[in-house]
A and B are shown apart, each in its own frame.
Chain A
């Protein structure tokens, strides 16, 4: 193994998020020593208070941009990072907090805070890539720790990470899970959702919730028509696209289209 000082420097950054994705790194219990041997964990407040100053070879960025301050901070982080990888639905699509994008944030602050005038917040929660150049986006709410290790290993080897952008259906078929939509009539978001979780929910007889956001070429309109035939009502069909990846363009448009059709009919 190479000398400690020659290891690439890793930094982990947090924006508006629950910390779940960066904790996936600490969750890599069996591989954590190998991670620490391969890369210098230089800035990772969840793991250590010891911070090594930048610049950093690899920055993992969790969370979305929701404040003017964070919109500035991400530029500084980008400037200090040779490679910047965003991890999780917040960082790649704005997260669950992107539901604010469809509501009145000022009204929220008036209800929640005693002194709303102290709250400096943006009208929308947005992905990191909306603010700075991102070298790679790792999807998921939360991300898969296997995929995180793959991204770090790929970075170290200077290769493209193996994180296919096809549908969750391919993962079901690879593992031999019988399609819950066809065999049980369970509405499933799998055909429109990015692979990566390993198709966990259908393996437990549940439809996919879309945690990994839109797949590479989603067709939510056609999938939505089928959901309707399977008995899912308008509210449910709209809501399913308004979760962790509500801000991802394909899901945002799908929910808007379903909502608009609803208004037209009523």
Chain B
């Protein structure tokens, strides 16, 4: 980004918010943003601010989520819903190739081209931007680029929103991913809502963002706007009741592979895979081949998979991780320890989705704390 793009923040009135949506549409972007659906906030296509979750907040705990009326008209007054942006970037199902027999009876393979939608994500939180960054490093930045993810990612315009409050399941401050947006965005909004006004502090994070911002009816943000935005983010940080200490976590987990806590958590774990489905960084997929009745046509599909399924480790003769203990341990240690070795960072961004959307409310922060509270009795020199 050029120096100019980081120019002083602007202030956009709520009444002018639809100008932002119009400007995105005028530049050819399909806007995907938060909407109320099925009793939760989900990310779907929208065209006007009237479709946003106006006045909705939520209540979250382990295995518990309820939408709640806030008593105001905030556009972004909710916390994270069940569906991460990965649904739109790393799609649940992707057809990879088709095969058909030609007139001579020979098989012809055809790669299915990756669609390149031009989309803007609206309302991306700091932890979610961090999660997109984590998936970028796995799926684009490495030696093996996933063309389907890359195509969806390439023309993405990201409108981030700084959090003004935290859910009880949030722990982004521990993971140092939020609540303030730290980069990777095109625009960052902070909603300012009090008795005297309803508007947004808008900051550009890229040249594209700066250009779009110039087209909006804004004024220069004053000191009061900037202070109010700072207070909102501080409120989101102060409201976090969960933590997960990161210092030494990698070695602490590696030193506790036979810790009795794994058996204890396995007795509660359903192996249902919900945590991995809602996790914004979990990227694992499986490949399924299907043929039709005639045997003349075949398709290869990729779909989300989970380390909690038996097929995930199915090798010759059977699955390698047969116990719930081994599967939970795999997920947790890969996310929080192995990820450091593999990708140079944690695989957790502190969004808390795995806590809220676990049907029995297993809490990753609680499990890690319990593991670290005692050394592994079977290990030597456990830290």
- Partner-B contacts on A (CB < 8 A): 1, 31, 34-35, 37-39, 149-150, 152-154, 156-157, 159, 162, 164-167, 169-170, 173-179, 181-185, 188, 190-192, 205, 215-219, 221-223, 225-226
Contact = CB atoms under 8 A, between A and B. Distances in A.
A194 to B, nearest CB: 12
Contacts of B38: 177-178, 183, 205
Interface in B305-322: 306, 308-311
A226 B268 CA distance: 10
B39 A183 contact: yes
Interface string B352-383: 00001101110000000000000000000000
15 contacts: A34-B294, A37-B294, A153-B292, A159-B291, A169-B272, A170-B277, A170-B309, A177-B38, A178-B83, A182-B63, A216-B310, A218-B271, A219-B269, A223-B360, A225-B360
Given A162-B290, A166-B309, A183-B67, 11 more contacts: A39-B293, A153-B290, A154-B291, A162-B288, A162-B289, A174-B277, A176-B42, A182-B63, A183-B39, A190-B272, A222-B268
Given A35-B293, A223-B360, A176 B310 contact: no
Contact of A174 (B37, B290, B303): B303
Contacts of B66: 183
Contacts of A35: 293
A153 B293 contact: yes
By CB atoms of chain B within 10 A, which of A177, A205, A225 has the most? A177
Chain B: number of interface residues, binned into ranges: 35 or more
Contacts of B289: 159, 162
Given A217-B324, A222-B267, A176 B273 contact: no
A222 B290 CA distance: 35
Contact of A223 (B87, B277, B359): B359
B291 A226 contact: no
A181 B81 CA distance: 14
A222 B269 contact: yes
A153 B81 CA distance: 39
Contacts of A1: 294
B39 A31 contact: no
Nearest to B327: A217
Contacts of A165: 309-311
Q: Is the interface of A mostly helix, strand, loop or mixed?
A: helix
Nearest to A203: B38
Contacts of B360: 191, 222-223, 225-226
A55 B87 CA distance: 48
A178 B294 contact: no
A216 B63 CA distance: 22
Contact of B277 (A34, A156, A173, A190): A173
Contacts of A217: 271, 310, 324
Contacts of A34: 292-294
Nearest to A230: B63
A156 to B, nearest CB: 6
A208 to B, nearest CB: 11
Nearest to B273: A170
B304 interface: yes
A31 B290 CA distance: 15
Contact of B295 (A38, A162, A183): A38
Interface in B250-304: 267-274, 277-278, 288-295, 303-304
Given A169-B277, A191-B272, A222-B268, A178 B40 contact: yes
B77 interface: no
Contact of B273 (A149, A167, A184): A167
A178 B36 CA distance: 11
B302 to A, nearest CB: 12
Contacts of A184: 39
A183 B66 CA distance: 6
Nearest to B93: A174
B310 A174 contact: no
Nearest to A2: B295
Interface in B28-69: 37-40, 42, 63-67
Given A166-B306, A191-B359, A182 B64 contact: yes
